[in-house]
């Protein structure tokens, strides 16, 4: 990992600080900050002027508004579509972005993370596919929406 010309992270941005915490493993926050910073550097090198803007757009595109939750009614368990709270939206989006970036093998992680953020900001990539799968499940089970408030 190179340290030349690193992008300084604005950790006053609550979403970005939370993202760094999700990237972090075994309490190594400095390493997580370095990974995110290097990913932002890669985003910049790929022609995007503001990496933080790409990051925010990626999160917005991946955050699900509706998901299915299991609900027991009588003796059956139904997959009931429900709205997702904002905190959980962020958690799911970050989890999906990191899972798709970690699922790739080969080069260094910050390259995969940068690629996934760029793809998510353009509404392509694995994290956006995951969101669309969740929406398809909600659409398929919308007949059970009447059980949501029981």
Residue pLDDT tens, the chain, 150 long: 444 445 567 777 888 999 999 999 888 989 999 999 999 999 999 988 888 999 999 999 999 999 999 999 889 999 999 999 999 999 999 999 999 998 888 888 999 999 999 999 999 989 999 999 999 999 998 888 888 776
Structural domain including 24 reads 14-147
Do residues 80 and 69 make contact, with C-beta atoms less than 8 angstroms apart?
Answer: yes
Domain at 141, CATH number: 1.10.455.10
* Count of domains observed in the chain: 1
What does each C-alpha distance from 104 to 44, 93, 109, 137 come to in angstroms?
21, 18, 8, 26
Residue 1 lies in a domain: no
Cβ of 135: how many Cβ atoms within 10 Å?
16
**Total-model pTM:** 0.85
Nearest to 145, CA basis, from 64, 71, 65, 84 = 71
């Amino acid at each position: 990992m190179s340290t030349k010309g690193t992008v300084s992270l604005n950790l006053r941005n609550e979403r970005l600080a939370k993202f760094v915490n999700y990237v972090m493993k075994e309490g190594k926050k400095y390493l997580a900050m370095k990974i995110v910073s290097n990913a932002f550097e890669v985003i910049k090198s790929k022609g995007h002027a503001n990496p933080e803007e790409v990051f925010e757009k990626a999160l917005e595109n991946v955050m699900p508004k509706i998901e299915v939750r299991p609900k027991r009614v009588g003796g059956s368990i139904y997959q009931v579509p429900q709205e997702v709270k904002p905190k959980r939206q962020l958690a799911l989006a970050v989890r999906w972005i990191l899972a798709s970036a970690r699922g790739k093998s080969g080069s260094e992680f910050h390259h995969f993370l940068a690629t996934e953020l760029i793809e998510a900001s353009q509404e392509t990539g694995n994290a956006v596919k995951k969101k669309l799968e969740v929406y398809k499940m909600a659409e398929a089970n919308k007949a059970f929406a009447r059980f949501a408030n029981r």
